[in-house]
């Protein structure tokens, strides 16, 4: 259990009266959200090999302090930056290995969706990872993974066949459905409460698609009710390789439209011939409501192009506040989300409705992930200046206080437990997950869920609607 501390690529927290540029770079340089936290790890280990991860965990045990982990740095609430913890940053640790005969890729947690799919695409494969190109697979998969065409292909974490980890005691373990199965169960939906550090994911991949087309229609926000009711109604019957989204946003500059809020239904289909793709989009193309300001029908696209669009919608160097909810299946979705779509507080902010049916209607595998509905809703509030912090965050909270009453729960990936704690799992799954955490990490060495004052510790989250019940 010994280790050589001198061999670790480690940066220590400076004294209170000192400013260390290198420490600040290591602390927040890879945090995507520029609304940076005022939390200061005791040390940051920038791992480049698995042994660094093992030694960092053992160092934390020796120091008697907690461990936090950073994969891609895209957590909106910067869960990796924790007070007085040893932060293990995996940005420099790379592993990417395809077994084409087994349709399996082995990948390190900081690998981004764009890097993974560029590598896979060259060999004729695809992994339905995160929509934003720079999201690391680590946090994405631990939260469940609402990836490309999730409504039809299922959750990304369902494609995790095994993981390699370093546990809270500093031991390397291989985990799957029969070996160290508690870790494997928790890895598919525990989010930041996973009681270990994943070093590799083993993922099933699918063959790539040679013809992708998209259709997008931009309507004035005055058409919101009609358009939203239409897209919600047709989404469950759309082609099985077609992703369906509705976005409330200001139109892109290249559209030539006035800078006023719009509602934009978007259909992206993954096929192997242009004819198949056109057929898949015909239902939307032919049934759309009248009055569109812009119609972009059957546009050739690719994952690379979709990644570019996502990067433009989620620009770097900005301040973010994200929130989300699974709207109940029997709710009037258009009515519930009207204020969120029609009152955006900033030209770069957007609201999103993401169709999850039929995935939401089938039984899930036995795993931590257990919260879903037909209707996923998220707010991505984006702005540049700190002076807008209070106004933009207040808008998000006001929207969610109403929306939560119509929701079953929320997705971990677009949540901030310091602001709002709600239901993230089915009740039995939540109880089992918290029991696993307490069994596998009884000292709370892994930081877990960052709630108010970072107080949740080993007990984890209560898994209840706190605002609605207040």
Query: pTM for the whole thing?
Result: 0.96
For residue range 131-172, list pLDDT tens digits in order.
Answer: 999 999 999 999 999 999 999 999 999 999 999 999 999 999
For residue range 324-343, list pLDDT tens digits in order.
Answer: 999 999 999 999 999 999 99
Cα distance between residue 469 and residue 323, in whole Å: 18
By the 8 A CB rule, do 159 and 105 touch? no
Name the one residue in this structure whose structure tokens are 């939401």: 360
Cα distance between residue 410 and residue 379, in whole Å: 12
Q: What is the mean pLDDT of residues 262-284?
A: 98
Percent of the chain clearing pLDDT 90 (strictly above): 94
**What token pair was written down for 175?**
């985990």
For residue range 95-120, list pLDDT tens digits in order.
Answer: 999 999 999 999 999 999 999 999 99
Query: Is residue 452 over pLDDT 50?
Result: yes
DSSP H/E element including 390: helix 389-403
Low-confidence winner among 1-15, 199-213, 286-300, 453-467 (lowest mean pLDDT)? 1-15
Cα distance between residue 61 and residue 439, in whole Å: 17
The pairing of beta strand 196-204 with beta strand 160-167: antiparallel
Percent of the chain clearing pLDDT 70 (strictly above): 98
**What token pair was written down for 399?**
């929207």
Name residues whose C-beta falls within 8 Å of residue 163's C-beta, 6 or more positions apart in sequence: 174, 175, 176, 183, 184, 187, 198, 200, 201, 202
DSSP 385: -
For residue range 185-197, list pLDDT tens digits in order.
Answer: 999 999 999 999 9
Cα distance between residue 421 and residue 423, in whole Å: 7
For residue range 348-377, list pLDDT tens digits in order.
Answer: 999 999 999 999 999 999 999 999 999 999
Query: Is residue 2 over pLDDT 70?
Result: no
Residue 408's pLDDT is 97
Query: Is residue 1 over pLDDT 80?
Result: no
**470 falls in which pLDDT band (50, 70, 90)?**
low
For residue range 204-223, list pLDDT tens digits in order.
Answer: 999 999 999 999 999 999 99
DSSP H/E element including 22: helix 21-28
Query: Is residue 468 over pLDDT 90?
Result: no
Write the DSSP assignment of 305-349 as a string of letters. Answer: HHHHHHHHHS-TT-EEEEEEEEE-TTS-HHHHTHHHHH--SSTT-
Q: What is the mean pLDDT of residues 8-18?
A: 91
Q: Which domains does the chain have, with CATH numbers?
A: 5-89 (3.30.43.10), 96-207 (3.30.465.10), 211-414 (3.40.462.20)
């Amino acid at each position: 259990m010994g280790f050589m501390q001198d061999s670790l690529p480690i940066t220590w927290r400076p004294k209170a009266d000192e400013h260390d540029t290198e420490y600040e770079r290591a602390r927040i340089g890879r945090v995507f959200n520029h609304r940076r936290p005022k939390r200061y790890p005791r040390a940051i280990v920038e791992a480049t090999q698995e042994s660094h991860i093992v030694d960092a965990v053992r160092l934390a045990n020796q120091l008697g302090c907690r461990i936090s982990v950073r994969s891609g740095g895209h957590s909106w609430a910067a869960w990796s930056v924790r007070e007085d913890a040893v932060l293990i940053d995996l940005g420099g640790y790379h592993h990417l290995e395809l077994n084409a005969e087994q349709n399996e890729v082995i990948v390190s947690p900081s690998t981004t969706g764009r890097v993974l799919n560029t590598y896979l695409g060259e060999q004729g494969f695809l992994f339905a990872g995160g929509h934003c190109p720079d999201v690391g697979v680590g946090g994405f998969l631990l939260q469940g993974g609402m990836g490309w065409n999730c409504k039809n292909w299922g959750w990304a974490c369902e494609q995790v066949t095994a993981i390699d980890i370093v546990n809270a005691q500093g031991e390397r373990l291989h985990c799957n459905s029969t070996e160290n199965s508690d870790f494997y169960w928790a890895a598919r939906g525990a989010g930041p409460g996973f009681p270990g550090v994943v070093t590799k994911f083993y993922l099933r991949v699918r063959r790539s698609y040679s013809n992708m087309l998209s259709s997008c229609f931009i309507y004035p926000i005055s058409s919101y009710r009609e358009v939203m009711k239409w897209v919600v109604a047709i989404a469950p019957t759309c082609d099985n390789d077609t992703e369906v989204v509705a976005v409330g946003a200001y139109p892109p500059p290249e559209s030539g439209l006035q800078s006023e809020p719009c509602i934009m239904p978007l259909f992206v289909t993954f096929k192997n011939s242009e004819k198949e793709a056109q057929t898949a989009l015909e239902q939307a193309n032919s049934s759309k409501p009248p009055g569109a300001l812009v119609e972009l029908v059957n546009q050739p696209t690719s994952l690379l192009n979709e990644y570019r669009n996502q990067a433009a919608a989620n620009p770097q160097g900005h301040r973010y506040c994200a929130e989300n909810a699974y709207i109940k299946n029997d709710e009037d979705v258009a009515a519930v989300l009207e204020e969120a779509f029609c009152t955006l507080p900033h030209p770069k902010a957007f609201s999103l409705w993401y169709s999850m049916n039929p995935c939401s209607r089938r039984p899930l595998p036995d795993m931590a992930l257990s919260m879903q509905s037909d209707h996923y809703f998220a707010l991505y509030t984006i702005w540049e200046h700190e002076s807008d912090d209070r106004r933009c965050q207040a808008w998000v909270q006001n929207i969610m206080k109403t929306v939560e009453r119509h929701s079953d729960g929320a997705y971990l990936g677009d949540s901030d437990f310091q602001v709002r704690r709600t239901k993230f799992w089915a009740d039995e799954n939540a109880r089992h997950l918290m029991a696993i955490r307490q069994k596998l990490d009884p000292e709370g060495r892994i930081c877990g869920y960052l709630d108010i004052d970072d107080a949740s510790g080993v007990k984890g989250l209560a898994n209840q609607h706190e605002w609605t019940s207040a």
